[in-house]
Every structure is written in structure tokens, then in C-alpha cells.
Structure 1
Amino acid sequence: MKKEIPAPVIAVVSQNLPDIETHASLDNLFLYADAPGDPPEGSKPVKVQSWLRIINKECDYPLKVLGKLIETHMELPEQDEQEQILWGHNVTNHKKEFKEKLLSIFKQCNLTYTSGGHLSDGSSAPSKALSELIKGRDIPSIDAEFNRALANVNSEPREAVSAACNILESIFKVYIADEGLSKPQKQDLQNVWKVVRGDLGFDTKLVQDDDLKRVLSGIMSIVDGIGAFRTHASSAHGEGRKVYNLKPRHARLAINSAHTVALFVLETWDERRKK
């Protein structure tokens, strides 16, 4: 089932985008975003609202089109984020105001925007928490895989599964390098995970609480499962005789599971550093 642009988002875009764009620039913007059909007739707000509804009706991935449509408005240059002053008085900064309204309505509708014009409904509580945690870390590979997973959850679930696995692999490799640990001969997910979990003390034999032991055991199974999932069902490898009918819900499961594990590892790492 495709994810349509929610009505509240259509309302915010159609009410605010016309304050920034002309009729001509709106036409160019929608055409750049691969919106179907000719520009609808009517005032600018009517045109935007009608075109967004057409996108919902005729496009396979409406959120993908919307992401491209708002890309320039979400990724404003620094000077466009600043307060505007004319004749000594503050003037409404429509660009900044529009971006803030978009962020607010996306949060309300459980949508997540990532750089490059990607809009996704795949963000869960672990994904949001992980996003905040990796913001302060200068690790481009983790940022790239995080964004790739969320951007492709609906349109390219195989690609999203591959990225979900890669973010774990990237975090584990960074941990091994930063902590000065010996790299395993084979640097696939299972082997780098074995080094990290050993160093962080994720050993069920060392845990006395039976419930926590079950949780740790489950985490180990999740990492193994995600690695196998990438091997058999993602875009990282060619397919054999068996073809997986991968759905967005499967990709979402892999992403949420991977992000939960990634969050736990990073929080444990941070706690150890503080001590």
C-alpha cells in the first residue's frame, strides 16, 4: 500500500509555498519533482493544492515527489535562515517560517526528512533517538547509511535493508578503530560484531538477571538475522533461484531492529567513556 501525502501536509504546503514562489517558479519546481500532468488552473494556493492531490492519485511514491519538491526549502543556505531587517524593523522571513512549519507538520504526521530531498514514514522512536545521537559524531558513513535506509523504506525496500545492515557494520568498525582493538581477519557484520560485543561485555554468561539475559540474547539474534537478511534479500547481493518478495513492512522491521541495536551500542559506549 502506497503512502500518500497526508492532508495536513498538503494544507501547510499549499498555504505557504505560494508566499515564496511565483506561478512560473511553482511550475518549474513541480516539473523538477516529476509531478504528473500540466499545471492546474487557478490561483497559486489552488494550483499547489490541486497538483499535490494529483501526485497522491497518480504517483506510485507520492512522498518521493514531495521530498524533491521541498528540498530547496528544507536545506536553506545559512543566510536565508537569518532574521530579515528592513528600515530598522524585522520582516517576516517566509522561507524560514515555511521550513519551521514543515518540520512541525512532519513531526505531527510521523514523517522524517533527510538531506537530499528524502521524505520517509519509516522513522520510529529508535530511529529518531539514533538520529539525535549520531548528529554530534563526525562519521559520514553512519550518516549516509542512516539517511539511505529511511529514504528507501517505501520505494526500494531491498536498498533499505542493505543500509540497515550497513549502519551496524559502520558503527562496529568505527568502535574497533577508535578503541584500538584488533580487527578480525574477515570484516563482515558477524565478525566485527563479535569483537564489539566482547569488548562491551555483551556476554549472557556475565549477566545474572535472567530477563536481561534474554534481552541480550535477543540482541545477538537480531544482528545475526539482519546480516542474513542482507545476504539473502537485500540489494547488496545478487539473487539465486529464490526471490524474496520484500515489502516496506519487512524493510521497516529491519531498520527499526538495526537502529535499536545501534542505539544500545552507542549509549553503552558513551557510558563507558564517561566512567
Structure 2
Amino acid sequence: MANKIPNSVIGAVSSVIAAHYYSHSKLNALFMECGAPGDVPEGNCEAKCASWLKHCNEVTGVNAFAVLGRVIQHFMDQEPSEYRPEIEAGQRRIREALSRNQLSYQVNGHVTLAGASPATKTLADFLRAGDFASIEAEFARAVSQLDQDPHAAITAASSIIEALCKTYIEIFSLEMPNKQTVVPLWRSVQTHLGLNLDPTLENDQKRILQGLASIVDGIGAYRTHIGSAHGRGVLPPAIQVSEARLAVNASHTLVIFIMERWHGA
């Protein structure tokens, strides 16, 4: 993925986000909280958004796509309402702009490569429906990034675990942890999964689940330290492709296990 936000995406996002928040103070707080660099740009709300996103492209060491994802996260992750049709229209406009540039928005504020065709469903939709084929495709996309960008592959794999856990928690009305990162999310899901009632197997399964918990902890730490989600600086910590592949494959195993448990496959 190119490291600069395309102008057509900047135009769509600026128009939609400016209209949604319609407040200089809210936009200033939003962009600063999301890591946008520099002083507050001049101009009206839409011009301000466009200038700030363009500045993200220009500043060395700033992950422009990470900032973009955080800026649009709240707007994109909210459920459309019949009382506010402009939300669904705005979400569709942003997705279409991303798709035209072979990009896709995924839940929890991640902008990723989307391939040649537009994304018609969100990751949460695939998870709710038990759409194993589409989840396999998401992991295949992460694997395809390994050689070129192992940091982004780890971020993608961690994001899929986070999306799965958040969706699971919402579907089963579990308590959402205050800190919505991969480890506390997994802990909430783990306690709800249930184990085989046969006491002969229960201890064995507990060991496996404890191992999975360690995997989640490791992947979350990887993402924090070397993934692409929080910006990488000029020289990100080095990682071997084999190490990144291990993290992605471990994520895949965990996600498929939870989905099979959830959907009774």
C-alpha cells in the first residue's frame, strides 16, 4: 500500500467528516487525538480536514493511513439509523472512495489493501454470518503482505482478532472491557467459550486455551511494538518474515477456533 492517502480519499473523507462534526473545536480535538501532526490548519471545516490529511502525507515518520483510520473510526463503526440517513450515505461515500484506490476500511479504524473489487461487507458482517470463506480471504490478504510489509501483516492479523472478539462480545451481550485492545477483549471471550464437559478432556483443553491466551498476548505486543497501527518512525524495529508469518498463522488458528465454537461448525 502506498504510504500517502490518495487525493480522492482525502476529498471524500474531508467532506463527510466535516459535515458530520460541523465544529472546529470537535475537529481540532479529533485530529490531534488521532495523531495528526502540526498546528491547526486555517479554513472552514472541510478545508481544515483536507489540509490536515495532506500534511500527514508530507511529514516524515507519520503513518498517514493510521491517522486516517483513527479519524474515521467512530463515524465508520457506528450503526446507520433510519433517523440519520446521512450516516449510511457518508459511510458508503468513504468506502467507495477507498475502493476506487484499492483500499478498504475494516472495523476498529484500520485502512488496508482491498484488492481490485469493492468490499461489500464489513469484517463484522462476515464474523456474524459465520462466513469462513471471507475470513480466510482476509487472512490470505494478510499473508500476501508478509514479504513486502510484515509489520502491516501483523497489524492486519491482530485487527481480525480484535474485530472477532468485539463482535462476539456484542452478539452475546458480554461486558465490553474498558480497554478495547486484543488482550482484554480475548479474556472476555475466553471465559464465555465453554469447555468439553468430559472431565478427562477438560484439563487438556484448559492447557490449550492457556496457550492461545499466550498467543494473543504475544500478537498484541507485536502489534504495539512493531505493527503498523501506531506509526513506525523512520526506522521501525526489524522483524523476519518467518516471525511475522508465525504471528499471522497463529491468529488464523485462534479466529477459526472461536468461529467454529460460536457457529457450531
With normalisation by structure 2, the TM-score equals 0.51
Distance 2:160 2:88 in 1: 35
Superposition deviation, residue 54 in structure 1: 0.5
Matched, 1:96 2:84: no
Are 1:15 and 1:45, in contact at CA under 8 Å, matched by a contact in 2? yes
Change (3 A) 1:250 1:62: farther
Distance 2:12 2:41 in 1: 18
Distance 1:98 1:63 in 2: 19
Are 2:150 and 2:239, in contact at CA under 8 Å, matched by a contact in 1? no
SS in 1 for 2:103: coil
SS in 1 for 2:207: coil
The aligned length equals 201
Larger Rg: 1
The residue that corresponds to 1:14 in the other structure is 14
Distance 2:81 2:249 in 1: 32
SS in 2 for 1:111: strand
**Candidates 58, 65, 76, aligned match of 1:74:** 76
The residue that corresponds to 1:203 in the other structure is none
**Candidates 184, 195, 207, aligned match of 1:187:** 207
Superposition deviation, residue 46 in structure 1: 2.6
Superposition deviation, residue 81 in structure 1: 1.9
Matched, 1:259 2:252: yes
Q: Deviations over 1:141-183 (max 9, x none)?
A: xxxxx9xx9xxx9896697499499899x8xx89994654613
More displaced 10-residue stretch of structure 1: 19-28 or 180-189 = 180-189
Change (3 A) 1:180 1:40: same
Matched, 1:34 2:35: yes
Are 2:105 and 2:111, in contact at CA under 8 Å, matched by a contact in 1? yes
Counterpart code for 2:70: K
Q: Which runs of 5+ in 2 are unaligned?
A: 131-138, 165-185, 224-236
Superposition deviation, residue 53 in structure 1: 0.9
Matched, 1:110 2:103: yes
With normalisation by structure 1, the TM-score equals 0.50
Calculate the aligned-residue CA RMSD, in Å: 5.3
Change (3 A) 1:24 1:189: closer
Are 2:4 and 2:65, in contact at CA under 8 Å, matched by a contact in 1? yes
SS in 2 for 1:5: coil
SS in 1 for 2:252: helix
Are 1:55 and 1:62, in contact at CA under 8 Å, matched by a contact in 2? yes
Are 1:157 and 1:251, in contact at CA under 8 Å, matched by a contact in 2? no
Change (3 A) 1:47 1:262: closer
Matched, 1:135 2:155: no
Superposition deviation, residue 67 in structure 1: 2.1
Distance 2:25 2:210 in 1: 54
Change (3 A) 1:48 1:185: closer
Change (3 A) 1:256 1:11: farther
Are 2:73 and 2:107, in contact at CA under 8 Å, matched by a contact in 1? no
Distance 1:22 1:269 in 2: 42
1:1-275 to 2 correspondences below 5 Å:
3-20=3-20, 21-58=22-59, 59-76=61-78, 81-83=81-83, 93-108=85-100, 109-115=102-108, 118-121=109-112, 132-136=125-129, 160=155, 163=158, 177=194, 180=197, 182-183=201-202, 184=204, 187-188=207-208, 235=222, 245-246=238-239, 251=244, 254-255=247-248, 258-259=251-252, 262-263=255-256
SS in 2 for 1:41: coil
